[in-house]
Amino acid sequence: MPIYFTEHEIVVPGQLLSDNGKRSGEGTYTHGGKIYAARIGFASIRDNKVVVTPFKAAYKPAPGDWVVGIVSDVKPNGFEIDLGRHLKGTIRIPDREEVISTGLNVGDVVYVRIKESGLSGVVIDKRSRIRRIESGILIQIHPAKIPRLIGRRGSMINLIKRLTGCEIIVGKNGFIVINGPSPEAEFAAVKAVKMIEEEAHISGLTERVEKLLRELVGGAGAPSS
């Protein structure tokens, strides 16, 4: 498909991005069979669609999103989950005995899936596995930078995992848990994530991230699991 931008190029509203209007994705619009940017942000190809990711945008929960949250309250009929930036989610469990059997407590970090989001609030899908994260470092980046952290087909996040040996759980809400084989490995992964957040708009980011990681972990990398 003919495109008129480089990957992660900064674009402005009205800028021509592609001649193929059928590939219009989030943050774009079509006119005369062509795709244009609908907002200021980073242009990229995602799932064969042209998308524009804004610099700063509040996370908008959507059904099917996997997020990292913190249990902020235990109620007779479920749990309240802090999803960051004043956003709360609810796990509704009518059976009090089932609430107790989950073993969740205030302060626990969980990885959960959003069932629905609307005027009634954000509801967590209790039928999906609610994973309590036992260890690791919890950090937060701007949700708009999550696609850049993941990379095309997972290329960026897999690079960090491979070179540090860390398990990295990424929530679409911007919360990230990093659990590595050593404090040094975790520190390297955190530094890489923060570099991506700060330099997402600058070309050559993958090479800079790899260089940083090889300097911090000694260049040997970690075996794939």
83-131 tens-digit pLDDT: 997 899 999 887 777 777 778 899 999 999 999 998 888 999 987 788 9
CATH of range 9-54; options 3.10.450.100, 3.40.640.10, 3.30.1330.10, 2.40.50.100: 2.40.50.100
Its pTM stands at 0.75
pLDDT, mean over the chain: 89
CATH number of this structure's domain 137-217, picked from the four choices 3.50.50.60, 3.90.110.10, 3.40.50.300, 3.30.1370.10: 3.30.1370.10
Q: What are the C-alpha distances in Å from 109 to residues 53, 65, 72, 190?
A: 27, 16, 10, 18
What's domain 66-133's superfamily in CATH? Nucleic acid-binding proteins (2.40.50.140)
- Are the C-beta atoms of residues 42 and 34 closer than 8 Å to each other? no
* Most confident range, picked from 116-130, 141-155, 169-183: 169-183
